[in-house]
Amino acid sequence: MKTILAIHTGGTISMSQNEKGEVVPNNENPIAKEQVILKGQINLITDNLFNLPSPHITPQIMLTLKKRIMKAIVQGVDGVVITHGTDTLEETAYFLDLTLPNTIPVVLTGAMRSSNEVGSDGLYNFQNAISIASAHESYGKGVLVAMNDEIHTARFVTKTHTTNVDTFRTPTFGPIGIVTQHKAKYFQELIQTEVCDIDQVVGGVYLLKAYAGMSGDLFSALDNEKTHGIVIEGLGAGNVPPQTLAAIQQLLDHHIPIVLVSRCYNGVAQEIYDYAGGGIQLERMGLILCQGLNGQKARIKLLVALSDDKKGAELRRFVSNAVS
């Protein structure tokens, strides 16, 4: 019999609509009380660790989750399921993917409809996540996200719709598997993740999105001793307006690492254009091009790297490396 730890952190999956139709947190998580499939095959341990809407989740809370899972691994659990609000689920999932050993399945799931809405998807997603976490085929896959009968990697999945139950997608690459009849079936493999076993998280890591006519004002505002790193969602293949360049150079002169990704939904940042603000110039200046990640994921990766005290060439290699 497999032992699965279910860690509940809050979010829509644990909420209900009130008489006004407003979705609000419950004092007790209704999902945590539900009976699940695979009776007689699963020993389900429940830990109501948090009861937080996902915009309330912080890197410090992610670190607490990581430590709870590490404790469970030492105690011999066979897999972990985490229920989580969907707004920041992808960031928590990727943080755990970067900081946990790839030894047992860890699966995050959530819901787009609260527990008492018609068509609520929470219990169904929870049951699927338990099936995935208990499947032998799920070992060695890194941290996974289970939503709407699909299995995605923490590294590349993102929320794409504000309310649709089919909101979680993996641009460019697609899901690595599906759940059918409560069984996990995989069709792709993910390249191995490099793990940082951190025990603290730094602050002062920021995300800025480039836009037409952007000046250097926001960059200049971040040029202070509290700033440890910046991620830029660049235009197109990884470009910025030329008016930002002086302020960006000033940050680099002050040894603040800057990571560049694309703000595009599909594709990767590349050094293609050689003009003022083009990707070729930005790389020459010292920006780190991070391929395959969106802005929020790149920020998590930079935060983890800095929390692991990576610097210089080691920091650049880790953050830019598409395999981790």
- Residue 12 is among the residues annotated as catalytic for this protein: yes
Tell me, what DSSP letter sits at residue 239? B
3-state secondary structure of 40: coil
Assess contact for 218 and 323: CB atoms under 8 A.
Answer: no
DSSP bridge pairs for 271: none
Assess contact for 167 and 121: CB atoms under 8 A.
Answer: no
- Extract long-range pairs of 218-221: CB within 8 Å, 24+ residues apart: 219/244, 219/247, 219/248, 219/250, 219/251, 220/247, 220/250
Angle at 299 between CA 68 and CA 202, to 5 degrees: 60
Concatenate the DSSP letters of all residues of 171-216 into one string: TTT--SEEEETTEEEE---PPPPPP---S-----EEEEE--TT--S
The one catalytic residue in 3, 9, 12, 86 is 12
> What is the identity of the amino acid at 21?
G
**3-state secondary structure labels for all residues of 103-121:** CCCEEEECCCCCCCCCCCC
List, by residue number, the catalytic residues: 12
